[in-house]
Chain A
């Protein structure tokens, strides 16, 4: 029983990492007031770019990762161009990017379907901790991106948002862009930057799938993870470590289903496969089940999320 629990923990951590990275990137973008529904398509572009570069050009996982960052940033920048510069409808443009990403990744990835990845991220065992009985393997023998997803990135984003002046500017752009503008903050510049950064991180999340988790390219390899990341940002109440916790819960639910299939539990496998989606759906309700005082403290949706800002219309 114990070994099962730790097996679940280990695979939960691995499965949740991709979503943690994507959710953290989107959290940054949303803090500036940009809602990107195109994460799924952006992840796919990252996943396919990483795979192609590794299998076709440089058989090195970091080369693949770089390609994914660039591809994701490009998708993010195109999105930012539409919604920040041209002020187009954010949900519509995000959805459009999903179509673009799904179509384009399927198109350029078609020749590579069902090939193994030529280079992948290998687990790194942390000295001492990695040799602990039971928990060593689950927690301290993971790939580099896993440590990045759960420790480095959330800590950095927390520090950026809550301990720096720049972070205050980010939050101001998402809370009250007109006031931020009046205070001399370049709202659109921040929004463009972090929508692009969010795209780049979604690319990293995609690369994690093809270079570490799966590791192979198949069409639609993301299987809704981009959307789940969006859900986690809401669940987390726009808090970095909340998003990480959500990703772990998602990972745990996924692994339970996976292990259930491996061990032939008497439940149709389709129902076990539904678990991650139903679990995420359940997570969406958690903030509303808390007592209202706690909820008010937790629910910190940026007031101007999804609302384009332009001086002329704000002036009124």
Chain B
């Protein structure tokens, strides 16, 4: 049997007990949840040890961070505000991930979305609901447009979308900064290069910072979850994600799917930027995105591309970010949060592999190999998985 290998040779004589590492036919969701919880836990423990070694009181810092992010109404509002763009960029990156494409450019698409929304907000005049709808639409279109070159290149020529999407991030930052320093600079704001204030705001829901835009990521998550699971489109996406060659043999329109998914992904990230601008910052600036686009990769990575799982992981990273802001006042630099998020992702990626195996201890009969064939259905399922996973 090629699927498993022996961890430890058992004792001699008759009852040979062996620890075995076996590949699972299907990963249970409990194992996935457990692996991710463990990744977060161990990353935080590691961070705690480092903080402790640098001579800071870990327990009181952690207590303060928790209290100020989740212990107050204001703190929870702030978490929701940060979670909104994180879930959106997570959905954006995750959608591409379903086809094994990497959108590293959500940061740039988000910035372009905010840029386009600002352009509309500054120049258009009309009833607030109409202008706001236009701003959001422009944001989504701008995000998709920013994705157009990488999408076309990937669909037609198979040019690495990792690089093309990422390079455009730097261009987007320069473009937004140019507008904030130049044409749109509000001279009345001293000391910071920000644009004029956009007079149209997304309405608040209940006070405490909760705004209407927060419903949009929920809506998109549900829409994506349903269409990925229930429609022909979603089915074809999942096949392409598992094995492109199979999909091609089956006659699926590969280029069209790649194009659509990437443009959609860019649109979602762009929409995130427009929401951020219309509901939270109201002014364009070079720092409108607190690395939301890059953190979206973390969210999507931990959620493994599943739209509904973006919600808890988006909230998790929002808590981490806000805890970082709280701890900054205690002398812990924000960069430590960046490093910790990286460690979480690393551990999660390793944990993801661990969930694919299980450790069993079996007494092997003398006719070795007998127990291996005990579950023929499982074995064939493993074969199928093996075939589908190879790309």
Contacts and interface: CB of A to CB of B under 8 A. Distances in A.
Interface of A: 37, 41, 78, 82, 86-89, 91-93, 95-104, 106-107, 110, 219, 223-224, 227-228, 230-231, 234, 268, 270-271, 273-274, 277-278, 280-281, 284-285, 288, 307, 311-313, 315-316
Given A89-B352, A316-B2, A37 B164 contact: no
Contact of B346 (A82, A224, A234): A82
A103 B340 contact: yes
Q: Which of B159, B164, B170, B343 has the most CB of A within 10 A?
A: B170
Q: Which of B177, B182, B297 has the most CB of A within 10 A?
A: B297
Nearest to B339: A103
Given A99-B341, A273-B174, A89 B349 contact: yes
Contact of A307 (B164, B170, B391): B391
Contacts, number: 150
A231 B164 CA distance: 8
A92 B159 contact: no
A223 B170 contact: yes
B342 A92 contact: no
9 contacts: A93-B349, A97-B346, A99-B342, A224-B167, A231-B160, A268-B178, A277-B167, A316-B383, A316-B386
Closest 10 CB pairs of A and B: A99-B342, A103-B339, A103-B338, A315-B2, A270-B178, A100-B342, A106-B335, A96-B345, A96-B346, A88-B349
B352 A284 contact: no
Q: Which of B297, B341, B345 has the most CB of A within 10 A?
A: B345
Q: Which of B104, B163, B337 has the most CB of A within 10 A?
A: B163
Contacts of A280: 163, 167
A147 to B, nearest CB: 28
Interface of B: 2-5, 23, 102, 104, 149, 153, 157, 159-160, 162-164, 166-171, 174-175, 177-178, 181-182, 294, 297-298, 301, 333, 335-346, 348-350, 352-354, 383, 386-387, 389-391
Given A82-B349, A95-B297, A99-B294, A277 B336 contact: no
A3 B262 CA distance: 46
Given A99-B298, A284-B160, A284-B164, A110 B178 contact: no
Nearest to A101: B342
Q: Is the interface of A mostly helix, strand, loop or mixed?
A: helix
A100 B163 contact: no
Contact of B4 (A224, A230, A281, A312): A312
A274 B174 contact: yes
B182 A277 contact: no
Given A274-B171, A288-B159, A107 B349 contact: no
Given A96-B343, A316-B383, A103 B337 contact: yes
Given A82-B350, A270-B177, A95 B104 contact: yes
Contacts of B343: 96, 100
A96 B167 CA distance: 18
A104 to B, nearest CB: 5
A268 B181 CA distance: 11
A273 B178 CA distance: 11
Contacts of B341: 99, 103
Given A224-B170, A281-B168, A316-B2, A104 B162 contact: no
Given A224-B170, A280-B167, A285 B338 contact: no
A268 B386 contact: no
A313 B175 CA distance: 47
Nearest to A295: B157
B352 A88 contact: yes
Contacts of B160: 231, 234, 284
A222 B354 CA distance: 34
Contacts of B159: 284-285, 288
Nearest to B176: A270
Contacts of B338: 99, 102-103, 106
A102 B297 CA distance: 15
Given A86-B354, A104-B339, A281-B164, 12 more contacts: A78-B346, A88-B346, A88-B353, A91-B162, A97-B346, A224-B166, A224-B167, A231-B167, A234-B160, A270-B175, A285-B159, A288-B159
Q: Which of B149, B153, B349, B390 has the most CB of A within 10 A?
A: B349
A280 B171 CA distance: 11
